[in-house]
Structure 1
């Protein structure tokens, strides 16, 4: 992201502004608004939330005067207000994409179907779209990326989100000609496949988080989804379904992530994984066939080789999203996108024994968690992507605890937009 600070200051000095439209004023959205308020050349000029008061409070916490905040669901009024220097709050998310006074849209909802709709509307309106919604991306991202490219706009994941942070390490190493053996992230808590909103509620209340969201971290779904996004961006694969997920210290990673015949875990190179013990960081395991490069790496105290770890010990989630916004605006380049299509998938696995007639709740709920598998394995099993689950999915037959839920097991009682997009993707469109 070198030089973006100077380019943003130059834009501001010329009277320019990157005008951001935000959907979702939860934790991620609030942080984004406040971060951008401290920057040059960028402003969140419109924010939509099903509860407009959340957006108003987000602006207030960012130091925006209430006199500058206007609530409206009218497109013409909104555009006029923004042009006059005000910011807009609304409960009409679909309006944001149609505002002339918005350049880049950010989806911070975390809801797969909503994210799919937001991205579609942004692309159809020829606006860049930044997804803080990895669940939507791993479900229909390849289609949205293709559509955005055809429309001449950027579809991208976010800097600061772990897939974006991993991608920065990958691009750095790959550009330098290193062989990238493995890409991964730390997991903040031990894997608990049985986690649900009830079991997560007390901790969620202490952290001011949603119990469902916290449960999706604890049951591993979020980790599986994030590394699926990395796989689809790089072409890497999970070495085994669900990844290895060892407990380890940073210094152990170069040996762990080597082939089994060399004392490591891996059956193959170019894999994605996670580690309990290096959170909140992300990492890349690299090597080289050049003796002089090995000598230099040892001199630089990067280890004894032949594998070395590149490690970033932080990721600042939505606080880094402005960097992706700026890169999309200035250079029309994504931070991370599904360049390789569906290389991997996160599929739904029964969290408990499920009976015929039962509806599936959403990610982080009581009925299913996600497991990363190769796209080939997903096809072989006719498995249901985790991003499609919800009350609109009903079981036609019982599914045992721990079994992958397949399309043969379910029927859709409704047709959310993300299901329609996924059908288009699966038909090769």
Structure 2
């Protein structure tokens, strides 16, 4: 049974979706069958044949036509069809209400979003990589034009911001916020094996480390040593948390984040101040943890959390009794949503964009930068590769925007002009080949005045 909702009664909204042939694109397009007020008018992807094949699976292929010009696209949309286009040149902006940007590439995504705003089209930004580089500038441009620029629901950044809206509305004092890494650590005590994303290691020592004990930081260090052969940190995690930090004024407690190996019921104890046995030196930190679970236990992969200070002890003991995650000393509580549903949730943001609903403003208070992890020679080609957004020889770090460093994702396709020793940050002047539009938007965003923790820049 499909329940009625007022959004089903609104006038049709025509959207363009970039990166249409990705996994996100499919989940979003599939969901639009249940939200008929949102029309997939223009699908943008260089692989138009792949998009056609996906549309056949979804039962939409008979409505789809490849268009090579904006005029042809406009005609297809006017006739109620779906235009498949390979690039920006064939987008007919006058036929659209909202751009859903999901291509994941900074040069292309920056160009799509900037062009949309120039053509009176709202932007839902799913490409978190793009947002970390140009989000502050694009949001300011959208505001100046009476348009929306919003991170897309269905991924951890927007979901965490939605959770924080609830936390702020009820008046809770935030200590730390964050998310789980993409893949849980599944430990089977019977075999002593840990599995993460299909990779397994022998880790029998975890049997004795399933409880935090009297020395939580020592336990966390021991767990990290046991699972050290597994790659748990990813640039994509730092990217997502930068999106949130830009909109909340939170900062990373350490530049590469802590990544504690943690069970869900421990989060309120772990993300506590150091003087209370936790790991935090900074109040209001953003972080990522590796969720440790046993067979049969629910997953936290895709989830988000907020650790808050408690108030009246009796109130929070009542809540502990109802199964909520409260620290052992009663000082902290963890509120969490253990999910995200990708494109299934994004219709929420499309409606919010058209309705011009208030949303947190991104400021260039944090920059996701790049630090060399080994000596890099002049002439080295830098490229973001793979699902985890790795740049060989470089680590992503979350820094105060005053740092003399350029944005991590601006380095994709760039070449080093000088030798960069291990430990150095990579600056804009160290490279050439940076996309000029993205560079200019990034500079624009970093020059906007912002107040961060009482300091105006």
What is the TM-score when the length of structure 1 is the normalising length?
Answer: 0.84
Give 5+ residue unaligned stretches, structure 1.
192-201, 205-216
Counterpart in 2 of 1:31? 27
Counterpart in 2 of 1:48? 44
Counterpart in 2 of 1:221? 235
Counterpart in 1 of 2:78? 83
Matched, 1:394 2:439: no
**How far apart, CA to CA, are the structure 1 residues paired with 2:356 and 2:411?**
33
* Higher Rg: 2
Counterpart in 2 of 1:346? 368
Tell me the SS of whatever aligns to 1:85: coil
| Superposed displacement of residue 290, structure 1 | 4.2
Matched, 1:359 2:353: no
| Superposed displacement of residue 342, structure 1 | 1.6
Instruction: Tell me the matched-pair count.
Output: 390
Cα pair distance change 1:296/1:150, threshold 3 Å: farther
**How far apart, CA to CA, are the structure 2 residues paired with 1:394 and 1:180?**
41
Matched, 1:183 2:169: no
Matched, 1:10 2:9: yes
**How far apart, CA to CA, are the structure 2 residues paired with 1:349 and 1:356?**
15
Cα pair distance change 1:402/1:60, threshold 3 Å: farther
| Superposed displacement of residue 405, structure 1 | 1.9
Partners of 2:304 and 2:337 within 8 A in 1: yes
| Superposed displacement of residue 402, structure 1 | 4.7
Matched, 1:103 2:102: no
**How far apart, CA to CA, are the structure 1 residues paired with 2:28 and 2:383?**
29
Matched, 1:375 2:401: yes
Counterpart in 1 of 2:131? 137
| Superposed displacement of residue 271, structure 1 | 0.8
Tell me the SS of whatever aligns to 2:415: strand
Counterpart in 1 of 2:214? none
Tell me the SS of whatever aligns to 2:5: helix
| Superposed displacement of residue 85, structure 1 | 1.6
| Superposed displacement of residue 397, structure 1 | 2.3
State the Cα deviation string for residues 160-180 of structure 1 (Å, max 9, x = none): 111011111111111000111
Tell me the SS of whatever aligns to 2:94: coil
Query: For 1:4-403, what aligned pairs fall within 5 Å after superposition?
Result: 6-11=5-10, 16-25=11-20, 26-64=22-60, 66-96=61-91, 98-189=92-183, 220-277=234-291, 278-291=300-313, 293-294=315-316, 296-304=318-326, 305-329=330-354, 331-333=355-357, 337=360, 339-362=361-384, 363-376=389-402, 379=403, 382-391=404-413, 393-403=414-424
**How far apart, CA to CA, are the structure 2 residues paired with 1:300 and 1:147?**
46
Tell me the SS of whatever aligns to 2:412: coil
**How far apart, CA to CA, are the structure 1 residues paired with 2:314 and 2:89?**
56
**How far apart, CA to CA, are the structure 2 residues paired with 1:149 and 1:5?**
32
**How far apart, CA to CA, are the structure 2 residues paired with 1:389 and 1:143?**
19
**How far apart, CA to CA, are the structure 2 residues paired with 1:356 and 1:52?**
38
Partners of 1:182 and 1:284 within 8 A in 2: yes
Counterpart in 2 of 1:422? 442
State the Cα deviation string for residues 367-409 of structure 1 (Å, max 9, x = none): 4331222324xx2xx1221021022x3223222345432335x
Matched, 1:412 2:412: no
Which portions of structure 1, spanning 4 or more consecutive aligned residues, are displaced by more than 4 angstroms? 290-293
What is the TM-score when the length of structure 2 is the normalising length?
Answer: 0.79
| Superposed displacement of residue 139, structure 1 | 1.1
State the Cα deviation string for residues 114-163 of structure 1 (Å, max 9, x = none): 11111101111111111111111111111110100111111011111110
Partners of 2:364 and 2:446 within 8 A in 1: no
Partners of 1:34 and 1:61 within 8 A in 2: no
**How far apart, CA to CA, are the structure 1 residues paired with 2:428 and 2:75?**
48
